Amino acid sequence: MQIVRLRMYQLIYCSVSSRLCNHGRTKVAEKEKGPPAPTLTPPEKRQELIGHGDAQGRIAQMIDAGDFTNGWLITGPDGIGKATLAFRAVRQLLNTGNAADDSSHRLIAAGAHPDVFVARRPWIEKTQKFATEITVDVIRKLTASLANTPAMGGWRVGLIDTADELNRNAANALLKVLEEPPARTTLILLAAKPGRLLPTIRSRCRRIDLRPAQDSEIAPFVAREAGIDLDAAAEIARAAGGRAGFALRLAVDDGLKAVRLLDNFFSASHAGRMPEGASGLVGKGSEGVWPIFTMLLEERLAQAVIRAAQDDKADRFRLSQMIDVRDRVIDLLRRCEALNLDRGQVVSSLARSLASVKF
């Protein structure tokens, strides 16, 4: 039972990470048509990668040896740098290096390189939203692209961002390409939840699991990119769990305020008092803070449960209490969202729940 629950909380952790990385990703005017423009530098245009030196070294070694063949699976939670690493690999494979003035590099950054096909969830004009999954039509276009002779004399690359968003038909179509890849092609699959992939897809890919970067690496990056002071960036880095992209999104939204409110919420609740600044979650101007706060809250609880479940010396009764509190919090937040409950009462209920057990 504990193993099942641990797996459940690992999935919740990935889900919350995904939601927060998508929060604030793009902004668009109400009358604007087409996909909204990114508010942050997208991975295909970003030169800097925070952490993952071992992964970069392994990829460079394989490319130098001429062994970067079909296919690769890069895994890790959202915001950790999977896509940025993948595009670095694509540039190296196509011999463009990192020079910003390289014509091939500019084509990759613009999404216009003839030998690179990036499969993502399509934009739906009718709903003015991205589809919830990558469809088989997208993979058919990828397959057709890979079947062509390389236009610039090198390799052809297919990048799936992300493969755990493939629907069943799309996954089956991709499997056929992995089983019989055209000459001088490679497929790079990204996945935050690799367990969702078909086992036959996973078995046909060499895997790179990305590990959290150091807070000391993330903080200067966030301070520079977001234009905030280093102390504030360090607070955000500690809350980001080793994910530089995740941290940057916190910094450009209301993440710092949410992080500080969350820290105060836990310390005050454990002391049996109402958290200071709780009005920042219910009053005017709280609309941007609340979704980030709740996502971070769910993530912190999920991480605490995972750590306790993995500790052989942990108190089993306390672990059971933590799981019960986590379940109550999730249920309360879902009902708050679905039923538009009074947020002030929700905040009070959250404080009482957290006071019952120390995380």
Query: Is 50 exceeded by the pLDDT of residue 344?
Result: yes
**pLDDT > 70: what percent of the chain?**
89
Query: Is 50 exceeded by the pLDDT of residue 46?
Result: yes
pLDDT tens, position by position, 244-269: 999 999 998 889 999 999 999 998 88
Average per-residue pLDDT for the chain: 88
Query: Is 80 exceeded by the pLDDT of residue 341?
Result: yes
Query: Is 80 exceeded by the pLDDT of residue 104?
Result: yes
Full DSSP string of 65-87: TT---S-EEEE--TTSSHHHHHH
Query: Is 70 exceeded by the pLDDT of residue 15?
Result: no
Query: For residue 21, what pLDDT is reported?
Result: 53
Query: For residue 315, what pLDDT is reported?
Result: 85
For residues 34 and 26, give the distance between their C-alpha atoms in angstroms, rounded to a whole number: 12
Regarding beta strands 129-130 and 206-209, do their DSSP bridges make them parallel or antiparallel, or are they unpaired? unpaired
Using an 8 Å Cβ cutoff, are 108 and 99 in contact?
Answer: no
Roughly how many angstroms between the first and final C-alpha of the chain, as a whole number? 21
Query: For residue 9, what pLDDT is reported?
Result: 47
Tokens of 279: 């009005």
pLDDT tens, position by position, 161-170: 999 999 999 9
**pLDDT > 90: what percent of the chain?**
68
**Annotated domain spans of the chain:** 36-209, 253-355
CA distances from 269 to 93, 280, 352 (A): 52, 16, 7
Query: Hunting for tokens 């958290």 — which residue is that?
Result: 275
For residues 88 and 80, give the distance between their C-alpha atoms in angstroms, rounded to a whole number: 14
Q: Which CATH superfamily is domain 36-209 in?
A: P-loop containing nucleotide triphosphate hydrolases (3.40.50.300)
